[in-house]
Chains A and B, each alone.
Chain A
Amino acid sequence: MQGLEFSIVLQNWRYLFDGAVITVQVSAFAVAAGLIIGSVVGLARVSTVRLVRAVASVYVEFIRGTPLLVQILLIWFGLPSLGIRIESRFVGGVIALSINSGAYVAEIVRSGIQSIDKGQMEAARSLGMNYTSAMRFVILPQAFRRIIPPLVNEFIMLIKDSSLLAFIGMMELTKRAQNIQARTFNYFELYLAIAVIYFMITFALSKVAGYIEGRTRIHD
């Protein structure tokens, strides 16, 4: 067996670090956009209008029932055939991950809203509030507290899933490890190194999630 050369990781640490930053950036953009998409779709999922509900659930079911990798490939390599040009791999990656994440966030939002006792809506409505006010002042503030922890988990999932963007050549963490390997063939060292980096990011985030969860439980 050849000796392992972990020094290769140190030699390239700056290159990898920049990749990790891109990984976090693309995930953060995607989770923010996913939150907007997911809030709209999540509210649509509990809408009183059947058509709105139907459209929202088609989107959610389709995204959840297909592989993220296929969605990424479809957007990056597929859309140009329809004449839609995406200016960079970064933007393409953010779009693909956002659309994917939006569906999962929608489910988080929906279940957050539905976890609120229906007596809350009835009490608000019987005080004369319309549906929108009842949602805004009574249901959503309560749902929001319950949504934060699963949202952070969704962020963690996204960070891990963003490694699939290596398939479209985006220069995030995984792609950079592969680039170095193409020159040096240190597969084990580099994959182990980025695994550790992914873990450090997600572990830190899950600690944050735990902390927020502890804080928000106080008034429930």
Chain B
Amino acid sequence: MIRVVDLHKRFGSLEVLRGISTEIPRGEVVVVIGASGSGKSTFLRCLNLLELPQQGEIYLDELQILAKNTDINEVRQNVGMVFQQFNLFPHMSVLQNIMLSPVRVKRESLRAAREQGLELLRKVGLSEKAEAFPKQLSGGQQQRVAIARALAMQPKVMLFDEPTSALDPEMIKEVLLVMKQLAEEGMTMVVVTHEMGFAKEVADRVIFIDEGLIVEEGLPQEIFNNPKQERTKTFLSKIL
């Protein structure tokens, strides 16, 4: 589904990604862990071209999305993104947030978009909030709306950049639950998170990134219980 080959990303003289290669098959849930500043967000943002890497290849199915002639907007329709800060559109109701892109980008009819929107809201447990505005919702509810909004484009892959880091503890669970449900439905997911419980329970694979390189990757049990690399051990000892 996604194949990344030797990805390099620099900000000025700072080389943030220094040659990342990995493959994510359809339906796999990958959790990316690593210290602050190690390049996790940058890696994720390269996958939907919010950042343009200087070197390397990214394949989405057979499409090399870094090729000059790729339609960036079309790629992004297939790659949903959920942000730490939710980034809901504050001037629109919850339902309008979800309907906007299907209507304006995919040219779906209002009726179809509305039906799908309501269906997605049911799925994330927020049917009764369709007409509410984002600021009337709790953080956890906002993030669930953001997930529904991304799903409305029927992406092939969902990227999550620390989706629960801005949430109060009691709201983290409800968001993780929605994500877990999504994983069970077979969605391909790349999740940057510090929620090790989620990683152990839901991830098919854990990738540990340090200083812009994949230091170690493997099954969650392997990484958490029996890390091979010294740097992985050090990192885990700090967070567990």
Contacts and interface: CB of A to CB of B under 8 A. Distances in A.
Given A119-B83, A219-B133, A126 B76 contact: yes
Given A126-B80, A127-B105, A128-B101, 7 more contacts: A123-B81, A127-B80, A127-B153, A137-B100, A138-B100, A142-B90, A145-B91
Interface in B70-107: 73-74, 76-77, 79-81, 83, 85, 87-91, 100-101, 104-106
17 contacts: A117-B85, A122-B83, A126-B48, A126-B150, A127-B76, A127-B77, A127-B80, A128-B73, A128-B77, A128-B101, A128-B105, A128-B106, A129-B101, A129-B105, A137-B104, A142-B90, A219-B90
A115 B157 CA distance: 31
B131 to A, nearest CB: 13
A220 interface: yes
A127 B50 contact: no
B73 A129 contact: yes
Contact of B100 (A122, A127, A130, A145): A127
A153 interface: no
Interface residues of B, number: 27
A125 interface: yes
A125 B85 CA distance: 15
A142 B91 contact: yes
Interface residues of A, number: 20
A141 to B, nearest CB: 5
A47 interface: no
B9 interface: no
B91 A125 contact: no
Contact of A129 (B50, B80, B88, B104): B104
A126 B81 contact: yes
Contacts of B135: 219-220
Contacts of A133: 104-105
A122 B87 contact: yes
A133 B89 CA distance: 14
B149 interface: yes
Interface in B120-158: 133, 135, 146, 149-150, 153
Nearest to B76: A128
Interface string A137-165: 11001100100000000000000000000
Q: Which 10 A-B pairs have the closest CB atoms?
A: A128-B77, A123-B87, A127-B101, A126-B81, A119-B87, A128-B76, A128-B105, A128-B73, A130-B73, A141-B91
A122 B153 contact: no
A120 interface: yes
Nearest to A138: B89
B185 to A, nearest CB: 20
A121 to B, nearest CB: 9
B91 A219 contact: yes
A134 to B, nearest CB: 10
Contacts of A119: 83, 85, 87
Contacts of A129: 73, 101, 104-105
Nearest to A128: B77
A141 B101 CA distance: 16
B104 A126 contact: no
A133 B107 CA distance: 13
A125 B104 CA distance: 12
A87 B139 CA distance: 60
B50 A125 contact: yes
B113 to A, nearest CB: 13
Interface string A90-125: 000000000000000000000000000101101111
A127 B105 CA distance: 9
A138 B80 CA distance: 18
A119 B83 CA distance: 8
A127 B83 contact: no
A119 B100 CA distance: 16
B83 A123 contact: yes
B73 A123 contact: no
B153 A128 contact: yes
A220 B88 CA distance: 12
B149 A127 contact: yes
Interface in A148-186: none
